[in-house]
Structure 1
Amino acid sequence: MSVEIKVPALPESVSEATVVAWHKQPGEAVSQDENLVDLETDKVVLEVPAPADGVLQGIDRAVGDTVTPDDILGHVEAGAAAATDDPPAAETAAAAAAGGQASDDAEPAPQGGEDTAPEAPVAAADAEAAPAASLDGLSPAVRRLVREHGLDPARIESSSGDGRLTKEDVLRHLERLAEAEAAPTAVTAPQSAPAAEAAPLGDRPEQRVPMTRLRQRIAERLVEAQQTAAMLTTFNEVDMQPVMDLRARYRERFEKAHDVRLGFMSFFVKAAVEALKRYPAVNASIDGNDIIYHGYYDIGIAVSSPRGLVVPVLRDADRLSFAEIESQINELGKRAQQGKLSMDELTGGTFTITNGGIFGSLLSTPILNPPQSGILGMHKIQERPVVEDGEIVVRPMMYLAHTYDHRIIDGREAVQFLVAVKDCIEDPARLLLEI
């Protein structure tokens, strides 16, 4: 029986999606609830599971196609899993036979182009088998790239501190492989037609790549913020020594007690919440001719992901402990890297914090995240000479930036809000005493 694979109901305010990856090809066996295809919306990547056990009968929508809810993506022949056992066996036998031939001809192969053809299936089969045992823990996008290109995850350099592989790590690895292969080709075969055609490009190559839906949405929202809000940024600087001393004193005990690292972000979330309580206009938003004052504190934390910048939200941040804030930020960051954030986790924030300091930014003017009216920008901690009690001393200083919507937030409130954040960071006891 043929079962349709349909586009599921999309999140609210999302009307369409783009097919970005099929994880199975027609004729391959599938298991019920196994991820078959990834759909990218302007906010999240949705996984479409197999509706039944069987065989993928056909694909109706290819990668790059735009789809809407209830569109048919393909068909699964339910209950036909057993029937797919024989063809792969035959393919395996054929590959083994070709492998034997390729093995016998291994030495003379470089001397003739005809020997390259039978080697390809063997290479592909070996490549798929090699990393199979080490695919656990990889995100769907990374797992697909590893399988498609026959890569060994153990040989791919990770850019994250915990050794986790991202899609960007795999793409960077593929680029290095391509460069390594291209270099000898240009030397040994300069007379080939492809090399001659590529020559006019010289050192000025160009590549046209369509924007992803998320990148398009980011662009739209940034332009919308610039066009609709009266944005202004005020700056201040904060001495990070008190927080750094507190972290150094309790870091190990905190990690043992809560099984999470004590970072700087939890201090700034707590400080921002305290400042928002004092200046509610910064936590408000505009709806037509009305101002909506939010009586809760849902703090968005800007996170860089392989797909672009996303802002997952800490719900009711005022009710969270330091450990809960750090734990949730850590979990949301991992889910962002894996492309598994839900729409609920990305919508509804009342205020945003962004940390450009992790990339080395010393100062910036962050852009509002509509319909929010305020965003706090953190930056790099840098030792600078400052004057204390008439003496010049060296302190670890950070510039803070507060961008706000001047339509509902006056300059006085914006400056006082930022000073309140500064006071809480420079005297962390205020966060515990709420003063």
Structure 2
Amino acid sequence: MPKMGESISEATIINWLKNVGDPVDAEETILEVATDKVDSDVPSPVSGVITEIRFGKDDVVKVGEVLALIDADGNVAGKKITIGKTEEVKQAAKPLPNDTKKEEVKLQARSNPDAFLSPLIISIAQKENLSLEEVQSIPGSGADGRIQKSDVFNYLKNRKYPLKSTPQNAAPSTLYPAPKINYVEGKDRIVEMDRMRRMIADHMVYSKQTSPHVTSYIEVDVTNLVGWRNKNKDVFAEKHNQKLTFTPIFVDAVAKAIVDYPMINVSVDGKNIIVHSDINIGMATALPNGNLIVPVVKNANEKNLPELAATVNHLAESSRNNELKPDEVQGSTFTISNVGTFGSLMGTPIINQPEVAILALGIIKKRPEVITTEKGDEIAIRSMMYLSLSFDHRVVDGFLGGSFLRKVGDYLEQFDINTAI
């Protein structure tokens, strides 16, 4: 299992693209793996024939462990060929009995979306009759406190009695039944959510249940910004070999506003507020398959416009081609979502946990506006757009949220048309 980032200690096998006995070329993809944030391909380091596969689909494998053996001579005659290291590999891939599915759902409904409970941990917990609270009480030795298989076994070895299941902050039960879905056989069709869509759904529900969302709106006049960009985009591309979109300009404005209001760049940990020193801006990006991913511009406040443009273009291109590295989708402290890309006037975005705010940028539209000039009030054609900020009202009040949003708008409205390229 190759190293896929500084904070990545393990990955889950999604699919083997090759079988035992198949020939492979060097750098040819032989399996797909997934971390918490992104899927990746694992290439073969040599040319040869696969003689052994040690892990199966859905197995969680630590970085550095041997996934498979490849005979570089390409000769499998007389060699022992095996698939899987133990019967447990096959057992882990089997579907769960019906009577354990409810427990699986409970285990996956973890209190921290970043505290990933791998399929292996869930399987062990179900086999040992561990409750969700008991599993979450186990100190994790993995990256960012993630619970490893060895942590669970060490806990079970010293376990004297099970913890009582006492859910905290549980949502009150409701007597309202789930509405019936009308399904017409042969006319309607059922589409199963893929893995990424399930993760997005869980993350969105968790965010709404965790943070009391409040959304504020302002309208900004970006006429000068649009004029400068249209005038200089060709020169910029020729000089820096980078396409100049509005996104790096938006990222720059947000990063500057965060410097002015650092308490918007925080996370909540129980009763503590973690103030992040780094300003890492996530960009909500739609993938060709309709799913959503959030690549991250690291240390955005330390980059000039050409550097931001290069980073944004790289992340956008990598997203479209499914080539993002795990490190490129982790560590965001604030997120922006350009809903104007789809023609939306404005949006009410859901906070990307564990952040406390997210900014949506609407479409830029020309329309007549009343402006004040030296001659007095006049009607002129201006480029206008809406900004909307959703924030976590536990730690961000109206004053901070409104002030930060207004500051972002000021940076966009007061864009210096003499900015060097």
List runs of 5+ in structure 1 lacking aligned partners: 1-6, 84-199
State the match for 2:99 in structure 1: none
CA spacing shift, 1:382–1:81, aligned 2, 3 Å: farther
Matches within 5 A, 1:34-433: 34-57=28-51, 65-69=57-61, 75-80=69-74, 204-212=187-195, 214-306=196-288, 308-389=291-372, 390-429=377-416
Kindly provide the CA deviation profile for residues 232-265 of structure 1, in whole angstroms up to 9, marking residues without a partner as x.
Answer: 1100111121111111222222111111122111
Matched to 1:56, the amino acid is I
- The equivalent position to 1:20 in structure 2, one of 9, 15, 23, is 15
Kindly provide the CA deviation profile for residues 126-172 of structure 1, in whole angstroms up to 9, marking residues without a partner as x.
Answer: xxxxxxxxxxxxxxxxxxxxxxxxxxxxxxxxxxxxxxxxxxxxxxx
Is the contact made by 2:4 and 2:326 (CA closer than 8 Å) also made in structure 1? no
Distance (whole Å) between structure 1 residues aligned to residue 194 and residue 344 of structure 2? 25
Over aligned residue pairs, what C-alpha RMSD do you find?
A: 2.8
- The count of aligned residue pairs is 306
Matched to 1:269, the amino acid is V
Q: How far 1:369 sits from its partner (Å)?
A: 0.8
Q: How far 1:13 sits from its partner (Å)?
A: 7.2
Q: How far 1:31 sits from its partner (Å)?
A: 2.7
Q: How far 1:391 sits from its partner (Å)?
A: 3.2
CA spacing shift, 1:431–1:302, aligned 2, 3 Å: farther
Identical-residue share of aligned pairs (%):
33
CA spacing shift, 1:217–1:14, aligned 2, 3 Å: farther
Q: Aligned with 1:80: secondary structure?
A: coil
Greater shift in the superposed pair: 33-42 or 293-302? 33-42
CA spacing shift, 1:251–1:282, aligned 2, 3 Å: same
CA spacing shift, 1:216–1:201, aligned 2, 3 Å: closer
Matched to 1:288, the amino acid is G
Distance (whole Å) between structure 1 residues aligned to residue 234 and residue 4 of structure 2? 44
Q: Aligned with 1:344: secondary structure?
A: helix
Distance (whole Å) between structure 1 residues aligned to residue 254 and residue 236 of structure 2? 22
CA spacing shift, 1:239–1:16, aligned 2, 3 Å: same
Q: How far 1:60 sits from its partner (Å)?
A: 6.9
Distance (whole Å) between structure 2 residues aligned to residue 431 and residue 230 of structure 1? 41
Is the contact made by 1:312 and 1:347 (CA closer than 8 Å) also made in structure 2? yes
State the match for 2:92 in structure 1: none
Distance (whole Å) between structure 2 residues aligned to residue 430 and residue 315 of structure 1? 26
Greater shift in the superposed pair: 358-367 or 244-253? 244-253
CA spacing shift, 1:81–1:29, aligned 2, 3 Å: farther
Kindly provide the CA deviation profile for residues 345-400 of structure 1, in whole angstroms up to 9, marking residues without a partner as x.
Answer: 11111111110111111121011111111111011112233221333333221111
Distance (whole Å) between structure 1 residues aligned to residue 221 and residue 366 of structure 2? 10
Distance (whole Å) between structure 2 residues aligned to residue 411 and residue 348 of structure 1? 26
Q: How far 1:201 sits from its partner (Å)?
A: 5.1
Is the contact made by 2:26 and 2:47 (CA closer than 8 Å) also made in structure 1? yes
Q: How far 1:208 sits from its partner (Å)?
A: 3.6
Distance (whole Å) between structure 2 residues aligned to residue 429 and residue 256 of structure 1? 21
Is the contact made by 1:60 and 1:73 (CA closer than 8 Å) also made in structure 2? yes
Is the contact made by 1:270 and 1:431 (CA closer than 8 Å) also made in structure 2? no
Is the contact made by 1:381 and 1:396 (CA closer than 8 Å) also made in structure 2? yes
Which one has a larger percent helix, Structure 1 or Structure 2?
1
CA spacing shift, 1:15–1:219, aligned 2, 3 Å: farther
Distance (whole Å) between structure 2 residues aligned to residue 311 and residue 366 of structure 1? 13
Matched to 1:268, the amino acid is F
State the match for 1:161 in structure 2: none
Is the contact made by 2:11 and 2:33 (CA closer than 8 Å) also made in structure 1? no
Distance (whole Å) between structure 1 residues aligned to residue 327 and residue 273 of structure 2? 23
Normalised to the residue count of structure 1, the TM-score between the two structures is 0.64
Is the contact made by 2:318 and 2:324 (CA closer than 8 Å) also made in structure 1? yes
Kindly provide the CA deviation profile for residues 388-420 of structure 1, in whole angstroms up to 9, marking residues without a partner as x.
Answer: 133333322111111111111110111111111
Matched to 2:253, the amino acid is A
Is the contact made by 2:215 and 2:389 (CA closer than 8 Å) also made in structure 1? yes
Normalised to the residue count of structure 2, the TM-score between the two structures is 0.66
